Amino acid sequence: MEPVANKGQAAVFGALERIRQRLPFALLGIDSDNGSEFINAHLLRYCERGGITFTRCRAYHKNDQVHVEQKNYTQVRQVVGYERLQGEEALEQLMRIYGLLRLYTIGWLPAMKLLSKEREGGTVRKRYDEPRTPLRRVLQAGIERTEARIQFELGLGGWGPLGLKKALDAEVEKLWRLRAQAPASAAAL
């Protein structure tokens, strides 16, 4: 998650580089929707130079990226809503929120991964692995980049899950106050 001020090449590439620096493993691929911020020759060249696989969904098939869209809902929309935000102050507030949300999600929220799905007549039986946080999954896989992991663990610092969630909620409240202060005549970008 990385907020951008606009869909321009510089803003998107800047966000992509910040994300790559934070990743605790090498970026192997980018799966995008068909937005103009992603479907351009500049991003394709960037991926080719970096040895990154670039894929996109089929035109008019929005469910091709169902896992990405699901994360957009659970990681973005449930926290900050659907409203478009504008201005430098809102962008900086989103950066603070996403920074805390990243720590909370990766460091403290366990997830289960689907291992198998079997159909028996009219019922489907799903088998999941044990719940683990994304951080534990990366560490157990042994694919982490040490410097990125150290930076993440420093950011996580002495935060416990409850303290981090309270801090996140306080930052979201500040964003809502910014929305309330925005002039009604201002058009959202």
Tabulate helix, strand, coil % of the chain (nearest 5): 55, 10, 35
Name the token pair of 94. Answer: 């989103």
Instruction: Specify the CATH number for 9-181; select among 2.60.40, 3.10.20, 3.40.50, 3.30.420.
Output: 3.30.420
Hey, where are the domains in the chain?
A: 9-181
Q: Centre a 10 Å sphere on the Cβ of residue 56 and count the other Cβ atoms it contains.
A: 16
Predicted TM-score (pTM) of this structure? 0.76
Each residue of 55-85: pLDDT tens digit?
877 777 666 666 666 677 777 888 888 887 8
- Strand segments (E) across the chain: 29-32, 53-56, 114-120, 123-128
- Report the run of H or E that residue 24 belongs to, with start and end: none
